[in-house]
Structure 1
Amino acid sequence: MMHPPDRPSRLGAGGDNAIAFAIGVAADEWTLLILRHAMQDGVRRPERWRELLPIPEAVLTSRLRRMSELGILDPVEYDRDPPRCEYHLTPRGAALWPVLVTIWAWEVRWAGGHPEHLPRMRHLTCGNLFDPLMACRECGDVVTPREVTGAFGPSGSWPRSAPNTTMRRRSSGSANLGPGFFPESRALIGNRWSAAMLGAAYLGAHRFSEFQRRLGAPATVIADRLRAFRALGVLEAFGDADRADRHDYRLTDKGRAFFPVVMSAIEWGQRWFLAPEGPAVVFRHRASDHPFSVLLLCSACSRPLSGKQMSVV
């Protein structure tokens, strides 16, 4: 199914919701890297992506096809003999910049043992290096994850929010992807169960039984994800050391710091993929009791960020 790049897609009733589409994009490493160079360097031609990334031609072809189907890129033929296309970034694709910026900032701050030193971002409006601050678009206040509450909306449920298929990801043993490689983000949202587990933690799940009941996942999957999240330092466990099923799992500062990534991805999904029943999830700013949506601010000058006013240094 091709999705129109310049207006929201209308989804079928009862199928994958906006969150599932957002996960399908944000969880794929190659998609993020292709987007990075399209946004940052204006790359449009496959041969240029192959120069910049250690990506097999077949993988690049499949990603460009899928991103075109989703309306993120628009293929434009520039030669007929042989047929060759450029892939132009669409408004839908350009709107993914908050996801890239928040992932980048989180990896810089929290990901230990990174394959290479990640460069910093500069806000061209004020000229300073910056970190993105998450604020409430309604009132302008900078907020913490604890100040935002969320609940499933009319099209929201765990089965509808976890995509049934995702694009195949690079194995951990392949070539170093350099500064664009997001290793810990991939571990958090790199497959349907990881992303769903993280979402359940943000929505208040604390016990093994709560994760299992909400997600409907096998106990072995829940146990594996909880171990992985603890090893990454995004969850910590309290309680009976001998009984994992009695642990109380709480987000750490590192885990809470990933929240702007999740919020940015969900907001992108709900802007561009509309279910007939209504939104998949609804957020509120707890302190002011009004609807919450993300506004990213520059930590240096406190002005709103935009995709065209940032550079990598």
Structure 2
Amino acid sequence: MFTELAEGGDNAIAVTLGVLGDEWNLWILRHAVAGCRRYGDWIAQGSISNSVLSKRLTQLTELGLLDKVRYSDRPVRFEYPLTPRGLGVWPALLSMWVWEQAWSPESSDILPSMRHGTCGATFTPVLVCRACGEPCTRRDVSADLGPSGDWTRSVPASIGRRRSTSTRQPSQVLPHTMELLGNRWSAAMIGALFLGARRFGELAERTSAPPAMVADRLHRLEALGVVETSPNPARPNWVTYGLTAKGEAFFPVVALMIDWGQQWFRAPEGPAIRFRHVVCRKDFHPVLHCNVCSQPLRGREVLIEPPASGP
């Protein structure tokens, strides 16, 4: 059952960013997909403190991604299995891992490899239109804001704070992903660029960000290699902004996150954004297929293999 959001409040995109734009939530969900269910399972993975784990498990349970099930009476203890809503996050997590492997080689952690249980091959997921089964890139999909898609409703304040260098963070498995999703203005800029904004003024207007913040975030996104500038033919002293190949390649992450969010968190006014596949002209809902056997990937058929140990 989906959660109905408050009229005029945060939309599905804001809720999704609030959940998946938090490094510890991603860390917990990543290990939950790999089989963690009990408090000690996560503690054994290292990095996380008791207070942070307790807070995040409570949040993820309240949002319906984890269930809380008593498994011991003396002492009273609980385990936290993934719900169908939580299990539905795995395609987005998988696309994050693949994007990091391709575009963030400096990651300090070795990412797990994935094997498709159906064909037995180590695979790379392919983004596919659910309606027609054809592979898609960002340029094959059009996007329009829906009834609840106002920018002020799409980015949660909870991911607006800068990271503190003195605060313990999860191991940096997804460093560039968190640069894009873990800051509210970076996430807003990426969304506006995917929707076609190109000029500085357009980005400021669409995101409602102060000009100084727009400049700061664009500078950071350029430094990450996600955004590039080109001369503005209409104004020689101005530039336009666009996504690089690295930025374009982030589209599966964005599409899968939004599709998941709008499935499980619904505003009464309607969706925040509507995707359409320009080839089949139907609503676009992303799914992942195996690049080896071309069959749909399903959570139970994706086998997570621990990274090989160093010498």
TM-score computed with the length of structure 1 as normaliser: 0.91
Alignment length, in residue pairs?
Answer: 303
Aligned residue in 1 for 2:131: 138
Aligned residue in 1 for 2:253: 261
1:145-224 matches, cutoff 5 A? 145-166=138-159, 171=164, 177=170, 181-224=173-216
Q: Cα deviation per residue 1:199-251 (whole Å; 9 max; x = unaligned)?
A: 101000111111100011111111111011111111111127xx998221111
Q: Secondary structure at the match of 2:115?
A: strand
What is the Cα deviation at residue 89 of structure 1?
A: 1.0
Aligned partners of 1:196, 1:10: CA distance in 2, in Å? Answer: 23
Aligned partners of 1:159, 1:77: CA distance in 2, in Å? Answer: 40
Aligned residue in 2 for 1:309: 301
Q: Segments of 4+ in structure 1 off by > 6 A?
A: 167-170, 173-176
Structure 1 residues 176 and 127 mapped into 2: Cα distance closer, same or farther (>3 Å)?
Answer: farther
Q: Are 1:40 and 2:29 matched, yes or no?
A: no
What is the Cα deviation at residue 35 of structure 1?
A: 1.0
Q: Are 1:127 and 2:115 matched, yes or no?
A: no
Q: Secondary structure at the match of 2:157?
A: coil
Identity across matched positions, percent: 48
Q: Cα deviation per residue 1:14-44 (whole Å; 9 max; x = unaligned)?
A: 0001111111111111111211211112x11
Q: Secondary structure at the match of 2:258?
A: helix
Structure 1 residues 262 and 244 mapped into 2: Cα distance closer, same or farther (>3 Å)?
Answer: farther
Match of 1:45, as an amino acid?
R
TM-score computed with the length of structure 2 as normaliser: 0.92
Aligned residue in 2 for 1:239: 231
Aligned partners of 2:112, 2:99: CA distance in 1, in Å? Answer: 12
Mapped contact 1:26–1:99 kept (Cα < 8 A): no
RMSD: 2.1
Q: Are 1:110 and 2:115 matched, yes or no?
A: no
Aligned partners of 2:237, 2:62: CA distance in 1, in Å? Answer: 42
Deviates most, 32-41 or 270-279: 32-41
Aligned residue in 1 for 2:308: none
Mapped contact 2:116–2:122 kept (Cα < 8 A): yes
Q: Secondary structure at the match of 1:128?
A: coil
Aligned partners of 1:286, 1:51: CA distance in 2, in Å? Answer: 47
Q: Secondary structure at the match of 1:239?
A: strand
Q: Cα deviation per residue 1:280-309 (whole Å; 9 max; x = unaligned)?
A: 100111223221110211111111111111
Structure 1 residues 59 and 167 mapped into 2: Cα distance closer, same or farther (>3 Å)?
Answer: farther
Aligned residue in 1 for 2:309: none
Aligned residue in 2 for 1:56: 49
Aligned partners of 2:273, 2:166: CA distance in 1, in Å? Answer: 36
Aligned partners of 1:306, 1:245: CA distance in 2, in Å? Answer: 50
Aligned residue in 2 for 1:4: none
Q: Cα deviation per residue 1:259-286 (whole Å; 9 max; x = unaligned)?
A: 0001111011100011111111001112
Counterpart pick for 2:21 among 27, 41, 45: 27
Aligned residue in 1 for 2:61: 68
Counterpart pick for 1:12 among 6, 21, 25: 6
Match of 2:218, as an amino acid?
L
Aligned partners of 1:98, 1:298: CA distance in 2, in Å? Answer: 12
Match of 2:180, as an amino acid?
L
Match of 1:22, as an amino acid?
T
Structure 1 residues 159 and 72 mapped into 2: Cα distance closer, same or farther (>3 Å)?
Answer: same
